[in-house]
């Protein structure tokens, strides 16, 4: 089960979120932040900026799920906020672009 299955409609967003053990939250975040993802105690938390449009929230969720799918959260010890690292940002975006084409 992966993002590709979600994009092709074989599974629902809910299926994938459960599969990756994600707690999904919508919060008021600064406008410069679309969303963030981190792992705490074995649970993946994705927080999406509630100020975004429907489309941008979907796109952000895919981006954050890509970080999980690409195993980018556990590569640096104690650094819950690995998503700030630009190479990971680019990789996550490239991955989604690849899946959409
Ligand atoms: Zn990111």
pLDDT in tens, the chain (101 residues): 999 999 999 999 999 999 999 999 999 998 888 999 988 888 999 999 999 999 999 999 999 999 999 988 765 544 545 455 677 888 899 999 999 98
Q: Which pTM value belongs to this model?
A: 0.85
Q: Quick one: which H or E segment has residue 7?
A: helix 3-7
User: Ligand 1 mean position to 38 CA, how many Å?
Assistant: 10
According to CATH, what is the number of the domain 3-100? 3.30.2010
User: Ligand 1 mean position to 8 CA, how many Å?
Assistant: 22
User: Ligand 1 mean position to 9 CA, how many Å?
Assistant: 23
Q: How far apart are CA 81 and CA 79, in angstroms?
A: 5
SS3 state at 27: strand
Please check whether residue 60 is in contact with residue 35, taking contact to mean a CB–CB distance below 8 angstroms. yes
Q: How many residues does the chain have?
A: 101
Please check whether residue 25 is in contact with residue 46, taking contact to mean a CB–CB distance below 8 angstroms. yes
Looking at residue 82, what is its pLDDT? 47
Looking at residue 81, what is its pLDDT? 53
User: Ligand 1 mean position to 28 CA, how many Å?
Assistant: 17
User: Ligand 1 mean position to 10 CA, how many Å?
Assistant: 25
């Amino acid at each position: 089960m992966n993002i590709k299955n979600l994009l092709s409609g074989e599974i629902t967003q809910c299926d994938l979120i459960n599969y990756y053990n994600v707690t999904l939250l919508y919060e008021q975040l600064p406008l410069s932040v679309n969303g963030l993802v981190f792992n705490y105690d074995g649970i993946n938390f994705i927080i999406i900026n509630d100020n975004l449009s429907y489309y941008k929230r979907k796109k952000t969720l895919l981006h954050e799920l890509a970080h999980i799918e690409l195993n980018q959260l556990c590569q640096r010890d104690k650094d819950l906020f690995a998503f700030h690292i630009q190479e990971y940002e680019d990789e996550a975006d490239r991955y989604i672009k690849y899946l959409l084409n």
